[in-house]
Amino acid sequence: MEAVASTIMNRVAARRWANDVVGVIRQPRQFSALNKNDPNLPRLLRVTERDEQFRQALRIAGKAMAGTLLDRTNGADHYHERSIRPRWADENRITARIGRHIFYRLT
């Protein structure tokens, strides 16, 4: 979660995508969980503050917005799950491998 938050903040800083967090995450086809056809979207929309992972995400988001979240992605602006290979993935631009994800700086 921290690495994804860092990636979002790196995109905000680059201003190539949008100049705020909401603008970055709502851009079409950028964060798959928000795609209308993603099977996880209904589950995402049902989450409440009673969910511990959501509370953890809120804490991470707070750190990211305050500028106190350590960027373990080394400036990444893209990422994907290890089991897929997007056409934009460039092995020479990998900045980190964290958990099941690979992070890249493409800009």
pTM for this structure? 0.90
Rounded distance, CA 65 to CA 15, Å? 15
pLDDT tens for residues 74-84?
A: 999 999 999 99
Q: Rounded to a whole number, what is the largest CA-CA distance in the chain?
A: 41
pLDDT tens for residues 12-48?
A: 999 889 989 999 998 888 887 888 888 888 888 899 9
Using the structure block, give the residue that is written with the tokens 């893209």. 78
Rounded distance, CA 91 to CA 60, Å? 28
Which distant-in-sequence residues (6+ apart) come within 8 Å of 30 by Cβ?
Answer: 17, 24
Which distant-in-sequence residues (6+ apart) come within 8 Å of 17 by Cβ?
Answer: 11, 23, 24, 27, 30
Q: Does residue 107 surpass a pLDDT of 90? A: no
